[in-house]
Structure 1
Amino acid sequence: MKFNNIIILFSALFSQVLSLNILGVFPYQGKSHFFVFAPYLKELARRGHNLTVISYFPLKEPIDNYHDISLAGKTKILEDVFPIYRSYWTIIQISFFLTNSGQENCITLLEDENVQNLWKTKQKFDLVLVELFNSDCALGLAHQLGAPVVGLTSHVLMPWHYEDYGIQYNPSYVPMLFLEGGTKPTLYQRIERSILHMYFIYLHKLTCRRNNQKTLAQYFDDVPPLDDLAKNVKMLLLYTNYVLTGSGLYPPNVHEVGGYHVTKPKELPQDLKKFIEESEHGVIYISFGSMLRATSTPKDKVQAIIDAVSEIPQRIIWKWEEKNLPGNPKNIYISNWLPQNEILAHPKVLAFYSHCGMLGTTEAIHYGVPMIGMPIFGDQPSNAAAIEENGLGVQIHIKDLTKELLLEKLRIVLNPEFRRRVKERSKVWHDRPLSAMETAIFWTEYAARNANYTFGTAAATVPLYQYRMWDVTAVILAILVIFFYSLKTVISLVQKKREDRYYEFKTK
Structure 2
Amino acid sequence: MLLVGNQFLWWIFLIGSILRCQSARILGVFPMTGRSHYILESALMKTLADAGHDVTIVSPYAENYVPRNGSYREILLTGFLEAYAEKRKAINLFDSPRLNAIKAIYLVNKIGLTLTQNTLAHENVQKLIESKEKFDAVIVGQFMNDALKGLAHYFGGHLILFSSVGSSTWVNHLVGNPSLPSYTPEILMSFPAKMTYSQRFRNTLFNTAFNIIQILIFHPKQNEILHKYVPNSTDLDDALYNVSLVLLNSHESVSYPSSTVPCMVHIGGFHIKPLNTLPQSLQDYLDNSVNGAIYFSLGSNVNSKDMPADKKNAFLNVFKRLKLNVLWKYEEDSLEDWPKNIKTAEWFPQQEILAHPNVKLFITHGGYSSTIEAVFYGIPVIAIPIYGDQKMNAVYAETGNFGLSLNWHDITEENLYSRIQEIVNVPKYKENAKKRSQLMRDREIHPMDRAIYWIEYVIKYDGAYHLRVASLELSWFQYYLLDVYGLIFLFIFVICLVLRKLFVLLFCRKRNALQKLKVK
Q: TM-score, normalised by structure 2?
A: 0.90
CA-CA distance at 1:63 after TM superposition = 3.8
Any conservation in 2 of the 1:353–1:371 contact (CA below 8 Å)?
yes
Q: State the SS of the aligned residue for 1:175.
A: coil
- Between the aligned partners of 1:326 and 1:489, the Cα distance in structure 2 is 90
Q: Tell me the equivalent position of 2:485.
A: 473
Q: Tell me the equivalent position of 2:6.
A: none
- For 1:483, give the aligned amino acid: I
- Between the aligned partners of 2:19 and 2:380, the Cα distance in structure 1 is 37
Q: Tell me the equivalent position of 2:36.
A: 32
- Between the aligned partners of 1:347 and 1:436, the Cα distance in structure 2 is 25
Q: Tell me the equivalent position of 1:444.
A: 455
Match of 2:437 among 411, 419, 426: 426
Q: State the SS of the aligned residue for 1:168.
A: coil
- For 2:76, give the aligned amino acid: S
5+ residue gaps, structure 2, are 1-8
Any conservation in 1 of the 2:174–2:240 contact (CA below 8 Å)?
yes
Q: Tell me the equivalent position of 1:463.
A: 475
The structure, 1 or 2, with the larger RCO (C-alpha pairs under 8 Å, 6+ apart) is 1
Q: State the superposition RMSD in angstroms.
A: 2.3
Mean Cα deviation higher: 203-212 or 146-155? 203-212
CA-CA distance at 1:412 after TM superposition = 2.3
Q: State the SS of the aligned residue for 1:149.
A: strand
After superposition, give the CA deviation of every residue in 1:299-347 in whole Å (9 maximum; x if it has no partner). Answer: 2122222222222211000111121158411001111111111111111
Match of 1:375 among 385, 390, 412: 385
Match of 1:363 among 363, 373, 376: 373
Q: Tell me the equivalent position of 1:66.
A: 72
- Between the aligned partners of 2:13 and 2:432, the Cα distance in structure 1 is 34
Mean Cα deviation higher: 137-146 or 455-464? 455-464
Mean Cα deviation higher: 480-489 or 190-199? 190-199
Q: Tell me the equivalent position of 2:189.
A: 179
CA-CA distance at 1:192 after TM superposition = 2.6
Q: How many residues align?
A: 502
CA-CA distance at 1:436 after TM superposition = 1.2
CA-CA distance at 1:244 after TM superposition = 1.6
Q: Tell me the equivalent position of 1:200.
A: 210
CA-CA distance at 1:91 after TM superposition = 4.8
CA-CA distance at 1:250 after TM superposition = 0.8
Any conservation in 2 of the 1:231–1:461 contact (CA below 8 Å)?
no
After superposition, give the CA deviation of every residue in 1:40-69 in whole Å (9 maximum; x if it has no partner). Answer: 111111111110111101215544511101
CA-CA distance at 1:84 after TM superposition = 3.0
Q: Tell me the equivalent position of 1:190.
A: 200
1:453 has 2:485 as partner: no
Judging changes above 3 Å, is the alpha-carbon distance between structure 1 residues 464 and 403 closer, same or farther for their aligned structure 2 residues?
Answer: same
Judging changes above 3 Å, is the alpha-carbon distance between structure 1 residues 477 and 85 closer, same or farther for their aligned structure 2 residues?
Answer: farther
Q: State the SS of the aligned residue for 2:84.
A: coil
1:77 has 2:81 as partner: no
Any conservation in 2 of the 1:372–1:395 contact (CA below 8 Å)?
yes
CA-CA distance at 1:221 after TM superposition = 4.7
- Between the aligned partners of 1:197 and 1:297, the Cα distance in structure 2 is 33
Any conservation in 2 of the 1:135–1:208 contact (CA below 8 Å)?
no
After superposition, give the CA deviation of every residue in 1:394-418 in whole Å (9 maximum; x if it has no partner). Answer: 1111222222212221122213343
Q: State the SS of the aligned residue for 2:376.
A: helix
- Between the aligned partners of 2:193 and 2:400, the Cα distance in structure 1 is 10
After superposition, give the CA deviation of every residue in 1:253-306 in whole Å (9 maximum; x if it has no partner). Answer: 111111111111111111111111111111110011111111222221222222
After superposition, give the CA deviation of every residue in 1:469-504 in whole Å (9 maximum; x if it has no partner). Answer: 222222222122211221121122112111222222
After superposition, give the CA deviation of every residue in 1:372-422 in whole Å (9 maximum; x if it has no partner). Answer: 111121111111111111122111112222222122211222133431232
CA-CA distance at 1:249 after TM superposition = 1.0
5+ residue gaps, structure 1, are none
- Between the aligned partners of 1:132 and 1:452, the Cα distance in structure 2 is 18
Q: TM-score, normalised by structure 1?
A: 0.92
- For 2:78, give the aligned amino acid: A
Q: Tell me the equivalent position of 2:113.
A: 103
- Between the aligned partners of 1:129 and 1:74, the Cα distance in structure 2 is 20
Mean Cα deviation higher: 413-422 or 77-86? 77-86
Q: Taking every aligned residue pair, what percent have the same amino acid on both sides?
A: 29
